[in-house]
């Protein structure tokens, strides 16, 4: 969720009031994430045909805290004031601005810079970060046990079980607790005299 923008046409006395999920409202116009350029794909005044692109508009308002449902309600209240779609007469700019100032404070549009290039789909909607311990909660597979036994054999002379777990739990994609639990299950470690020891050490 991002916010509500107000763009004013440079060619006719109209403003476009709408919502965008981009952090920068100019990305709504520059083809970011594969969207059509400008407002050419949505309803707009006939007199602005071919004149609804970034170079044809000035940003007059930006409130990133405004939610999409609120924007829908705002347009519903002003249906009869609309020229077409989300376009209104420019003389309503001050009314919109005053309403938004009263609701969310001053507009942030003066601090918004025009981006140098559009955002890719991946940049606009990046894939979620992988889980810190991607295999947590999954059953241990035989191949994992084999790798664990091998790694223990390589390192147990140099590190104690706690240090081994600290150094290796991310490599196995498991939490420290899960890895230590598996070492106990495989009878590789034992709790003795208030600390973990390697079995047979």
pTM, two decimals, is 0.62
Q: pLDDT tens digit string along 151-189?
A: 999 999 889 999 999 999 999 999 999 999 999 999 999
User: Average pLDDT in the 15-37 region?
Assistant: 93
- The residue among 12, 177, 11 whose CA lies nearest residue 89 is 12
User: Average pLDDT in the 34-51 region?
Assistant: 93
pLDDT of residue 126: 64
pLDDT of residue 129: 62
> What are 157's two structure tokens?
């002379």
The rounded mean pLDDT for the chain is 91
Q: pLDDT tens digit string along 92-148?
A: 999 999 999 998 999 999 999 999 999 988 887 766 666 777 788 899 999 999 999
Whole-number Cα distances in Å, 12 to 8, 59, 138, 158: 9, 15, 61, 77
pLDDT of residue 131: 72
Reported residue count of the chain is 201
> What are 75's two structure tokens?
């347009």
- The residue among 130, 128, 129, 135 whose CA lies nearest residue 175 is 135
Are 3 and 66 in contact, with CB atoms under 8 Å apart?
yes
Whole-number Cα distances in Å, 169 to 30, 150, 152, 172: 44, 14, 12, 5
């Amino acid at each position: 969720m991002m916010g509500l923008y107000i763009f004013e046409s440079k060619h006719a006395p109209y403003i476009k009031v709408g919502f965008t999920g981009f952090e920068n409202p100019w990305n709504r116009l520059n083809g970011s994430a594969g969207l059509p350029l400008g407002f050419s794909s949505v309803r707009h005044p006939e007199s602005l045909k071919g004149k609804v692109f970034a170079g044809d508009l000035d940003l007059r308002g930006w409130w990133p805290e405004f939610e999409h449902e609120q924007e829908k309600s705002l347009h519903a209240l002003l249906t009869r004031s609309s020229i077409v779609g989300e376009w209104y007469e420019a003389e309503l700019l001050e009314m919109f601005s005053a309403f938004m100032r009263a609701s969310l404070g001053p507009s942030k549009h003066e601090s918004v810079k025009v981006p140098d290039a559009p955002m890719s789909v991946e940049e606009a909607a990046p894939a979620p970060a992988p889980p810190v311990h991607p295999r947590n909660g999954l059953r241990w597979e035989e191949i994992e046990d084999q790798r664990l036994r091998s790694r223990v054999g390589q390192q147990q002379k140099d590190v104690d079980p706690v240090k081994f777990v600290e150094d290796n739990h991310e490599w196995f994609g498991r939490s420290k607790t899960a890895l230590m639990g598996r070492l106990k299950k495989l009878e590789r470690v034992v709790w003795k005299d208030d600390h973990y020891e390697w079995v047979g050490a």
